[in-house]
Amino acid sequence: MSMYVPIPLFFGLCLVLLALMLLSFRLNGMSVIITSLLSTFLSFYNSKIIVNGQLIHNLGGIDDGGAVIQGVTVIQIPALSYIFIFIGLVMCATTIYQVYLIIDEKNNKTDGIDF
């Protein structure tokens, strides 16, 4: 049985992704690496949710007889999946660049002796 994700929860995941992306461009050091990795994971996960048909829209209502009617519509948007893949690749490149900057900063440190 696959897990279904309602649209409001998916929008919440997108807001978390946006917040992580903005934080990864504002922070320095190890925190930027952690936020970049989390945003990379979340963007690829959002892409998987859309492609696999796990994103659903719950439809509910009451008919004339007073019975509750509930339906589920599966939402698949391949173009949105490509957007999330692109975001994931950008955040992956950001992570690699930030790791390079931290390693380069550690290698260029001196012990206070200048010649």
pLDDT surpasses 50 at 1: no
For tokens 């994971």, what's the residue?
A: 41
Question: Each residue of 63-76: pLDDT tens digit?
Answer: 888 888 888 888 88
Question: CA–CA separation, 108 vs 72, rounded Å?
Answer: 58
Nearest-CA neighbor of 80 among 40, 108, 49, 36? 49
Mean pLDDT to the nearest integer, 74-84: 86
Question: Each residue of 12-70: pLDDT tens digit?
Answer: 988 999 898 888 878 777 788 888 889 999 999 888 888 887 888 888 788 888 888 88
Return the C-alpha torsion angle 43, 45, 49, 55, nearest 10: -70
For tokens 């952690």, what's the residue?
A: 34
